[in-house]
Amino acid sequence: AGIDEIGMLLLTRAVNDMRRDVPFVYVRYNWGKGEFTVPSYSDEKIGDSIAAAITAAGGMQVKSPEKADLVLTVNTNPNGKTYEANDRANDGTPREGTKYFADLVSDYVGKGYPVAIADIAYANGSDNALMDELRDRGLLFKLRAYAGWNTPTNSTGFVIGEGMMAEHMKDEAVDDLLLTRYLDDWAYQANVRNTIARQLTWLRGDGVYGSLDSKMGAVATRSERMLTRFVEENLPPIDSLAYIEVRFPWNRMFESDIIHTADEPVDISYFPKK
C-alpha cells in the first residue's frame, strides 16, 4: 500500500537472499483495533500491509517472540484512528494505550528480545507521548530499530528492513541509524517543523511552507537552534551532536536534511540556504 519504503525492503530482500536467510518476525500491536487499523494514506488493514512487507523483505511471520529474530511492536491507537503529528494534541500528554504499549516494549527489551517499533499512531512524525515514555525509561537506545516518518506504511516497511538488517550491523551503526530517525521523525517532524511552520509569517522575505525561497536561511537557522535545544533536553550526550545543521533540499519544510557532527560542520554547499 506504500511506495517510499520499497527501496529498503528490496535491498533487505537482496541481503537475505544472498545470505540464504529467512528472518522470523513476531508482530505485536497495541491493544484495541491493532492489526485491523486502516491507517491514513492507506486503503487496507495495517496487518495486511505488514505481512506483505515481511514477505517482500524475504522474512516470515511467526506467532511467538521466542522463535523470532525480530519482535516488531506496532504503536497503533486503540480506536483504530491515525492522527497527524502536527496536531496540537501531539503534545506529549499520555493517551489511552500509551503506557500499555510502553510496558510492552519495556517487557520485550527486558527479556532480551531484539525489539523494533513502528510508531504509526500519528502520520508524518513520532508520537510524542510514547517517545517521552521511552526516554524516561531509558529505552531509546535499547531498541534495534525505530521509524515514525511519513505515512504509516512507509514507517512499517522501513522498520522491517531496518530491524532485519540490525542483526548484521555493529551496535554503533544501529545506534547511529536510531539517532537519524529520532532527529528526523521525533525532533524535527513532530516538534520543530510544526513550531516553525506557525512562525513563517513573522520571517522576512518571500516564501511559504511548500516553497521557502528567500526564507530558507532563516528557517534553517531557527531549525538548528530548536533541534540543538531538543537534543539537550531529550537525548543522552553524544559526541556527534556537537554541531547540527539543517538544510531543505526540496525548498520546502516537509523534508529536512539534518547533518550532525562532532567537529566543525562538513561542506554541504551543494544544499544552498538561499
In order of their start, the domains of the chain are 6-168 (3.40.50), 174-261 (no CATH)
Model pTM score: 0.94
**Burial track 127-153 (b if 16+ CB lie within 10 A, e otherwise):** bbbbbbbbbeeebbbebbbbbbbbbbb
Rounded Cα gap, residues 126 and 118, in angstroms: 10
pLDDT category of residue 262 using cuts at 50, 70 and 90: confident
pLDDT at 210 over 70: yes
Over residues 45-54, the mean pLDDT reads 98
pLDDT at 271: 44
Residue 222's CB: how many other CB atoms inside 10 A? 18
pLDDT tier at 153 (50, 70, 90 boundaries)? very high
Query: Over 90: is that where the pLDDT of 267 sits?
Result: no
Cell reading at 11: 535491498
